[in-house]
């Protein structure tokens, strides 16, 4: 049986997540889109783990005083990209943040040259609220809708089936 977990926590509390964050930063720099967030202990993550390895991670900074969760970035292992795993992580995050009932917005954005991120954010319902010289800033409402649920193995089963199938096929 495949081991698939969804986990949220502080980046510094998980060595595999810290390493993934370093890979993410290196990749962004190589694309000419450096992270604008300095490293610190404020960062959290939400990740989908497959056989103990993070395959898709959303890095974020929850700021209580602002009642916002700020995106620091996202990374999906290259062999798993464009398969919907990040959107799966995103939807689980939105559910969990809404269940907490304290957050107003998830605030994110993208470099104007990052067309893949722009399309992804639009498809997830994030909307542009500010334009800067090189960046578009987006947000998504996190106020509870009444449809939130506790994540169980049953909710993870479709992604377990998918990951098992894809890992056997290639």
Q: Are 104 and 142 in contact (CB under 8 A)?
A: yes
Is the pLDDT at 158 greater than 80, yes or no? yes
pLDDT at 37: 61
Is the pLDDT at 1 greater than 60, yes or no? no
Q: How many other CB atoms sit within 10 Å of the CB of residue 122?
A: 13
| CA distance to 4, 39, 47, 48, per residue, from 57 (Å) | 13, 16, 4, 7
pLDDT tens for residues 67-78?
Answer: 999 998 888 988
pLDDT at 138: 97
pLDDT tens for residues 34-79?
Answer: 666 656 667 899 999 988 889 999 999 999 899 999 998 888 988 8
Long-range contacts of 159-165 (CB under 8 A, 24+ apart): 159/4, 159/48, 159/85, 159/88, 160/2, 160/4, 162/83, 163/2, 163/4, 163/50, 163/55, 164/2
Domain 4-169 is in which class?
alpha beta
pLDDT at 2: 62
Mean pLDDT of the chain: 87
DSSP state of 52: T
Confidence of residue 123 (pLDDT cuts 50, 70, 90): very high
Q: What pTM, to 2 d.p., does this model score?
A: 0.85
pLDDT at 67: 96
Confidence of residue 125 (pLDDT cuts 50, 70, 90): very high
Please name every residue paired with 50 in a beta bridge, in sequence order, or none if there are none.
Answer: 4, 53
In the chain, what are the domain boundaries?
Answer: 4-169
pLDDT at 20: 80
């Amino acid at each position: 049986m495949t081991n698939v977990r969804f986990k949220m926590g502080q980046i510094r509390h998980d060595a595999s997540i810290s390493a993934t964050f370093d890979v993410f930063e290196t990749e962004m720099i190589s694309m000419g889109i450096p992270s604008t967030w300095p490293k610190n202990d404020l960062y959290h993550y939400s990740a989908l783990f497959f056989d103990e390895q993070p395959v898709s991670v959303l890095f974020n900074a929850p700021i209580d005083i602002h009642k916002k969760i700020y995106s620091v970035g996202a990374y999906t292992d290259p062999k798993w990209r464009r398969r919907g795993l990040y959107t799966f992580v995103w939807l689980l995050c939105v559910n969990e943040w809404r269940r907490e009932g304290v957050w107003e917005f998830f605030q994110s954005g993208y470099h104007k040259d990052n067309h893949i991120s722009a399309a992804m954010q639009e498809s997830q319902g994030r909307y542009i609220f500010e334009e800067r010289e090189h960046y578009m800033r987006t947000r998504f409402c996190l106020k509870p809708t009444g449809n939130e649920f506790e994540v169980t193995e049953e909710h993870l089963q479709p992604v377990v089936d998918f990951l098992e199938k894809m890992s056997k096929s290639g």
